[in-house]
Amino acid sequence: MTAQLSKKSEAWSARFNEPVSDLVKRYTASVFFDKRLAYVDIQGSLAHAEMLAHQQIISQADHAEIQRGMAQIQEEITSGKFEWLLDLEDVHLNIEKRLTELVGDAGKRLHTGRSRNDQVATDIRLYVRSEIDNIVGLLRDLRLSLLDLAEQHADTILPGFTHMQVAQPITFGHHMLAYVEMFSRDAERMLDCRKRVNRLPLGAAALAGTTFPIDRERVARTLDFEDVCHNSLDAVSDRDFAIEFCAAAALIMTHVSRMSEELVIWMSPRVGFIDIADRFCTGSSIMPQKKNPDVPELARGKTGRVNGHLIALLTLMKGQPLAYNKDNQEDKEPLFDTVDTVVDTLRIFADMARGITVKPEAMRAAALQGYATATDLADYLVKKGLPFRDAHEAVAHAVRACVDRGIDLSDLTLEEMHVFSKLIEADIFEVLTLEGSVAARNHIGGTAPQQVRAAIARHRTKLS
């Protein structure tokens, strides 16, 4: 039986008296999703082999053979010729088996001083680090698209809302800058997460380290890690970095979802603030007039998917004793799908932002509804010496009178305004214009067009 199992090339075959059942093989195998780690697995193995040779743990000849074999394996993977075998369970054993076929005993010596436990932990960190760099770049592209849109509409007025009710006039450029701020924080979070991702587990071996005279710092330098993991138990069992990445990704998708919600509302004919380019929309199978904003709707839905992956990883880790457990195989599919979802979403949203057509007339008409300049009238009275609470009460009475008559505050005559406060003078009509309202908020973070353009310039400087 042992001889029969050895022919199957299972890494632990000599320990068992019967082969693993086909059902168990399918249930426990990860090769058909973790094969995306192939390139980083090769990268990590080459760094490990270089260190082993430098430390004279393997010969220079073996090192050269490992390099040669890995180069061929990488070419086979790239060309699609590499044969992935379920019997070999995962990406690591598939590559090691092929390496041994190509270079013989040198391939068998590669695993000296390491375990699949620290190997996979290293692979995942290399993968996440690379994807963080990619996502930060995509966040930059999205922000640049939003900055272009904001700059085009630094003066375009629309109503700002609280509780979905008209609150105060703002500019569309200012509104877009709110999302630029969100996505800027997302980039900061990703880069901060990268610091904790960028620590090397390799050398922890299965859980306790190794008896071989390895040089972990050398491998860290080769792979551009900033540090090594300083406890072997933690090194192989930690998935905090993956959870942190997924938390940052969930926040990205939350911001995308908030933006999506507004795009869907704004594109509705009942609102009509914007149009989205046809290439991001679909029609109806029965209603020929329909133009549906499918991309923002789907992104809004995919947010729940990414949130679910975060919860899955938190749940995965919550009951695990030290050190490595097979549970951790379940970290990859949520992580991989999170990456794919965020990357695709950011890429398409950067393009979609360039395909948004703004309708200033509809925005302006909406800003004239709901007494958006009421706060400006209250502020005016405060500047005339009236305590704010008294000013608030006076304006509330004025708004109530306008509601009863179906007119705007600016439609009141000066004499009618005196009913609510004798402090009101003829200059009030400049204050009650939409342009006057936004221009008056001329400070850092305010909606004044001057401040919008200044904020755009600051962001462009940071992104240059």
Q: Which residues are catalytic?
A: 163, 284
Structure-block tokens of residue 13: 């075959």
- Exposure string over 105-116, b if 16+ CB within 10 A, otherwise e: ebbebbbebbbb
209: left (phi over 0), alpha (psi -120 to 50) or beta: left
Partner residues linked to 199 by β-bridges: 227
Question: In 3D, which of 33, 24, 242, 11 has the Cα closest to residue 124?
Answer: 242
Structure-block tokens of residue 256: 């995308």
CA 400 to chain centroid: 46
- For residues 375 and 432, give the distance between their C-alpha atoms in angstroms, rounded to a whole number: 10
- For residues 85 and 99, give the distance between their C-alpha atoms in angstroms, rounded to a whole number: 14
